[in-house]
Structure 1
Amino acid sequence: MRATVIHAPHDIRVEEVPDPTVRMSTDAVVRVLRACICGSDLWAYRGESARQPGQRIGHEFLGIVEETGADVRLRKGDLVVAPFVWSDGTCDFCAEGLTTSCPQGGFWGSVGSDGGQGEAVRVPFADATLVKLPAEAAGDDRLLTALLALSDVMGTGHHAAVGAGVKRGSTVAVVGDGAVGLCAVLAAKRLGADRIIALGRHQARTDIAKLFGATDVVAERGEAAVDAVRELTRGQGARAVIEAVGTEQSMRTAVEITRDGGAIGYVGVPHGSGTGLDLGVMFDRNIALRGGVAPVRTYIPELLADILNGTIDPSPVFDRTVGIEGVPDGYRAMDERTALKVLVTL
């Protein structure tokens, strides 16, 4: 079968790899219908996070169950979506909803595992990991695209909003105009925020932010952005702030635009040499910091229900579509910021 592998920075290839097979009684093999490229994949693409030459890549996919182990309740032909981390569903962390801390869990595309950007994937702990979707969704391209967002970006944006303490009537500021930041806007609107300030410089992206519920857009960066947000909030800042980038500058901006007594929900994968955090400032201003790797599997059921009933539609974050052979071009487009998030159809 064909799958995406990374050999070196800026060297993404689609190659023939062995077909996945059931190894354990709790495994399933899923034939991928839709996958995508994540902003976090770009850190490996740019050489900012280490990968072994020939390692599989990609962690977002949905598809059809093709084969199951003896202990799997899912059946061949089921349409399913996979969160970006598999988990066993039985440990203390899974019971608490923190599926990303499952001792037997793992990330697609990690060393020795299948990546999501390929024609098929072996899924460990299939019943605990995969979420069954309505069969009729397989014939609806727009709905399939919206449902694919459940594998990462929609759940991650929701995790950020929860970490920031977004509730009905909140004023929220979102730092970052990538797919996760835009889904965080959508999540904040879903949770009842009255005012949502989106920080972003690219009009195509901020137009999506407005579609998703942003009431204000701040295009400035650095101190100018801080001044703009404070001007919009009577000098106080936003009580709930979402950080969806992961750089030192973005976190510093998030701290500076947070209202005293407020909270930052952070989901931007940290990269670079610094954090942008000054604990003395946060201590003095009673700013809370919550977030991290999103336990997307925990959030899928509630978000799935709202996608199916039309309350939310994250599909606009996908602005380019390629086939499997076009994945390297998709990486280049996202790296050059000519695409927001690339959908892969198989």
Structure 2
Amino acid sequence: MKATLLYAAGDVRVGDVPDARIQQPTDAVVRVVASCVCGSDLWPYKSAPATDHPRHMGHEFLGTVEELGSEVTGLAVGDLVIAPFVWADGTCEYCRSGLPTSCLHGGQWGLNGVDGGQGEAVRVPFAAANLVKLPDTTAPDSALIPDLLTLSDVLCTGYHAAHTAGVRKGESVAVIGDGAVGLSGVIAARLLGAEQIILLGRHTQRTDLGGEFGATDVVAERGEEGETRVRELTGGLGAHRVLECVGTEQALTTAYATVRDGGAIGRVGVPQYAQGPIGMDMIMRNITLTGGVAPARTYIEQLLPHILGGEIHPGKVFDRTVTLDDAPDAYRAMNDREALKVLIQP
């Protein structure tokens, strides 16, 4: 089968790999209907050292069950399913407490002999725990497929930022970053009842989409100028909650400068820094720093009805669709800011 492979920084190819197959009785094989390139995929795309053993890429996918191991329950061949962006066993203490990203026996797609999502098919370990069956009325060619695919990662990540930051009805929320995660954070803040949602971003096409998703204000300025503008929009105090959806030290610094005393920062941007401003300023102002990697499997069934009911359309973050053979150009387009988020249809 074909899969997307990362050989070195800037060197993504589509090549032949062994077919996905059942290896354990708890496995399933899923034929991929849709996958995509994530902003976090761009970090290894920019920095990976050269190798003769390329990594299988992709951790967001949706597809149909093609084969089931003998111990898999609750699923049938032909089911349309969503997979979270990390896999877990579903039974360890962390999984039972709603934190499958810390599973004692889980892992990441594309590593240690597990297929990546940007390919024709995927072997799914612990299939019963990881795969979420969609309603039988949802067809593989449904117009909802882009919306549903966001449940694999990006929508759940934006929701995690808002949920852990404690967004409540009537509050003000600042969202740092106009990428797909930031835009998903806008959707999440609106779902949780925020009255004022300030989106910090300077790409008009993206911030316009943020307005469609529920942002009440847009701040295009950066640095101190942007921080001052957020405080002006919040009566001089800062936002109750700030969602940091970028992952740079500057974004974290902006989050501290725009949150009000006693507020909370939900940090979900993949950190590209080793240190940050978490000293006396944080403790003297009673600021809570929370967030982390999103336990998407915990949120999928909670967010799914909002999509099926037409309340939200997060799939609008996909502004380009390509075939699997064009996956390398999808990486280039996102890296060059020509595309917000690219959907791949094998």
Aligned match of 2:86: 85
Gaps of 5+ in 1: none
Instruction: Give the Å deviation of 1:136.
Output: 2.8
1:316–1:24 distance in 2 versus 1, CA, 3 Å: same
Aligned pairs for 1:67-146 (under 5 A) are 67-73=67-73, 74-146=75-147
- Is the Cα–Cα contact under 8 Å of residues 8 and 49 in structure 2 kept in the other structure? no
Aligned match of 1:267: 268
The list of structure 1 runs, each at least 4 consecutive aligned residues, that deviate by more than 3 angstroms after superposition, is: 48-53
Instruction: Give the Å deviation of 1:142.
Output: 2.5
Q: Using the alignment, how far apart are the partners of 1:158 and 1:94 within structure 2? A: 19
1:275–1:48 distance in 2 versus 1, CA, 3 Å: farther
Q: CA RMSD in A?
A: 1.3
Residue 283 of structure 2 aligns with an amino acid whose one-letter code is: F
Secondary structure of 1:192's partner? coil
Gaps of 5+ in 2: none
- Quick check: 1:228 aligned with 2:225? no
Instruction: Give the Å deviation of 1:277.
Output: 2.1
Residue 131 of structure 2 aligns with an amino acid whose one-letter code is: L
- CA offsets 1:174-209 (integer angstroms, 9 cap, x no match): 001110010000010011110000000000100110
Aligned match of 2:171: 170
Residue 338 of structure 1 aligns with an amino acid whose one-letter code is: E
Aligned match of 1:339: 339
- Is the Cα–Cα contact under 8 Å of residues 171 and 193 in structure 2 kept in the other structure? yes
Aligned match of 2:195: 194
- CA offsets 1:37-81 (integer angstroms, 9 cap, x no match): 000000010016998741101100000000010111211101000
- Is the Cα–Cα contact under 8 Å of residues 318 and 341 in structure 1 kept in the other structure? yes
- CA offsets 1:215-246 (integer angstroms, 9 cap, x no match): 00000111111011011111110010000011
Aligned match of 1:152: 153
- Is the Cα–Cα contact under 8 Å of residues 9 and 49 in structure 2 kept in the other structure? no
Aligned match of 1:307: 307
- Is the Cα–Cα contact under 8 Å of residues 250 and 276 in structure 1 kept in the other structure? no
Q: Using the alignment, how far apart are the partners of 1:307 and 1:49 within structure 2? A: 39
Q: Using the alignment, how far apart are the partners of 1:306 and 1:123 within structure 2? A: 26
- Is the Cα–Cα contact under 8 Å of residues 44 and 50 in structure 1 kept in the other structure? no
Residue 88 of structure 1 aligns with an amino acid whose one-letter code is: D
Secondary structure of 1:76's partner? coil
Q: How many residues align?
A: 345
Instruction: Give the Å deviation of 1:89.
Output: 1.0
Q: Using the alignment, how far apart are the partners of 1:49 and 1:224 within structure 2? A: 37
Q: Using the alignment, how far apart are the partners of 1:230 and 1:159 within structure 2? A: 24
- Is the Cα–Cα contact under 8 Å of residues 245 and 269 in structure 1 kept in the other structure? yes
Identity %: 59
Query: Structure 1 length as normaliser, TM-score?
Result: 0.97
Aligned match of 2:180: 179
